[in-house]
Structure 1
Amino acid sequence: MLLFDLDGTLIDSTEAIITSFKHTFKQLDFDFKGKDEDIKDLIGYPLDIMYKDLGVDEEQVWDFVDAYKEKYKDISKEKTLLLDNVKETLKIASSFARLSIVTTKTAKYTKPLLEHLDILDYFEFITGREDVENPKPHPEPILKTLDLMNYDETKHKVWMIGDTKLDLICANSAGVNCVGVLCGYANEDSLKEYSGFIVQDSLDAVNLIKDITNPSL
């Protein structure tokens, strides 16, 4: 079983995310004094945490989250790209494993986006922010996904592939293997504390896992 993060692991939606944040700042009259990089540094966290860290008052956070979702829904398809080698990655991965996605994005908006990118059919389940009480780095998103996949520890090996420490901490807390990738939003130093496997991208990660778990393939 292979579990994938989404942003920075399989897709690049940086432009869609930053555009949506700036739209909400303007719409809700918030004087954001930071830079695009400040938003980018928080990608991977739930939206409410991102807004709080960017200075939005706690009582207003959910107004911003709702406005963000409306804007993101409208622009995500045109402003999101697959990262390099993703289709090859998923073709190889699906040849020896069952695949699902574990993301802090809203699953309701993620499914049409992945359909647009022509990769939705590779995945059995998409566990999004609305599906859990406790998002990454809490283990609940992975444990929920494994439950949906009828995980049996006597039969199945599980790996999580992600680009931030949130993914790797989540995996460690859930008791599953993990690989960090450098094609997203974190650097090697921030990842290697949480995994002994750090590679360039999801294709390298899948090939590594394939070699470890199915060396004869």
Structure 2
Amino acid sequence: MDGEMDDDDSYDFWLLDLDGTLVDVEWSYTRDVFDRVGDRVGREFTDREADIIWSGLTGSRDRQLEEWGIDPQTFWDAFHEEEDPLVRAEQTYLHEDAEFVTDLDVPVGLVTHCQQFLCEPVLDHLDIHDWFDARLCCTEQTGWKPDPEPVQSVIDDLGVGDNGHQGVLAGDGANDIGAAWNAGLDAIHVERVGHDRRGRCVLGDYRVQSFDDLF
């Protein structure tokens, strides 16, 4: 559904994605990283291609890379070598509507594909560590959204996995929505980039352009 929550749509806990949901990175940083990764893998990336991979516009980034004839492991090894955690943190900004998290009076968890060596400096730089009662940076070991396992792990860490607790997961991508539904949660899709740029419409229990639209 579109639009705001009803008064009776109260949740016992919230889970949130990070990149593209609560925060974003200046385009100049993204463009520079893809230029340097392109040098490493021997392939130039257009602005559109960089946007697709950075924002996960087509769902699975690995599948998209494979469609372009790029080995995902080779790409990600180069990508993480070229990312500077401190520079990325400095180039990351918080969406104004994300401040709603500070008003939540229930447990809040973070489930992100952003790697820990990058995530922690971002949380420090933006001073939002204390927004989250539990957090998980997905890895091959934890699984990746839309796999429900990383979501369930954070639910367990929050101590809200039993007794009929009702939760919601908010994110900007189809993988976030899939992870929510696969874990038995409601899902909020925050469309930061627009349907035209994404090239598709992502469904969700709630579909908004800003968290302000929910309340």
Query: Does the Cα contact within 8 Å between 1:9 and 1:184 map onto a contact in 2?
Result: no
Measure the CA separation in 2 of the matches of 1:127 and 1:49: 23
How has the CA–CA distance of structure 1 residues 117 and 185 changed in structure 2, closer, same or farther, with 3 Å as cutoff?
farther
Structure 2 counterpart of 1:62: 73
Q: 1:31-42 maps to which residues of 2 (within 5 A)?
A: 31-32=43-44, 34-42=45-53
Partner deviation per Cα, 1:17-64 (whole Å, 9 max, x = no partner): 4432221111x15122x42122222324676555434432x3xx4343
Partner deviation per Cα, 1:149-206 (whole Å, 9 max, x = no partner): 12233252211001111110111111111111122476695222xx23111223434x
Partner deviation per Cα, 1:40-94 (whole Å, 9 max, x = no partner): 22324676555434432x3xx43432332232234212221112222x212112x
- Taking every aligned residue pair, what percent have the same amino acid on both sides? 24
SS at match of 1:179: strand
Structure 1 counterpart of 2:146: 137
Cα RMSD, aligned residues only: 2.5
SS at match of 1:41: helix
Task: For structure 1, list consecutive stretches of 5 or more residues without a partner in the other structure.
Answer: 208-217
How has the CA–CA distance of structure 1 residues 135 and 203 changed in structure 2, closer, same or farther, with 3 Å as cutoff?
same
Query: Does the Cα contact within 8 Å between 2:21 and 2:190 map onto a contact in 1?
Result: yes
TM-score by length of 2: 0.79
How has the CA–CA distance of structure 1 residues 184 and 6 changed in structure 2, closer, same or farther, with 3 Å as cutoff?
farther
- The answer as to 2:175 corresponding to 1:162 is no
Partner deviation per Cα, 1:123-174 (whole Å, 9 max, x = no partner): 1222112274420111112111112212233252211001111110111111
SS at match of 2:202: helix
SS at match of 2:189: strand
Larger helix percent: 1
1:41 maps to a residue whose letter is I
Aligned residues: 196
More relative contact order, 1 or 2 (CA 8 Å, 6+ apart): 2
2:101 maps to a residue whose letter is L
SS at match of 2:187: strand
Task: For structure 2, list consecutive stretches of 5 or more residues without a partner in the other structure.
Answer: 1-12
SS at match of 1:172: helix
Query: Does the Cα contact within 8 Å between 1:163 and 1:185 map onto a contact in 2?
Result: no
1:101 maps to a residue whose letter is L
How has the CA–CA distance of structure 1 residues 171 and 78 changed in structure 2, closer, same or farther, with 3 Å as cutoff?
same
Q: 1:82-93 maps to which residues of 2 (within 5 A)?
A: 82-86=94-98, 88-93=99-104
- The answer as to 2:124 corresponding to 1:115 is yes
- The answer as to 2:72 corresponding to 1:52 is no
Measure the CA separation in 1 of the matches of 2:83 and 2:111: 19
TM-score by length of 1: 0.78
Query: Does the Cα contact within 8 Å between 1:182 and 1:188 map onto a contact in 2?
Result: no
- The answer as to 2:114 corresponding to 1:105 is yes
Query: Does the Cα contact within 8 Å between 2:147 and 2:182 map onto a contact in 1?
Result: yes
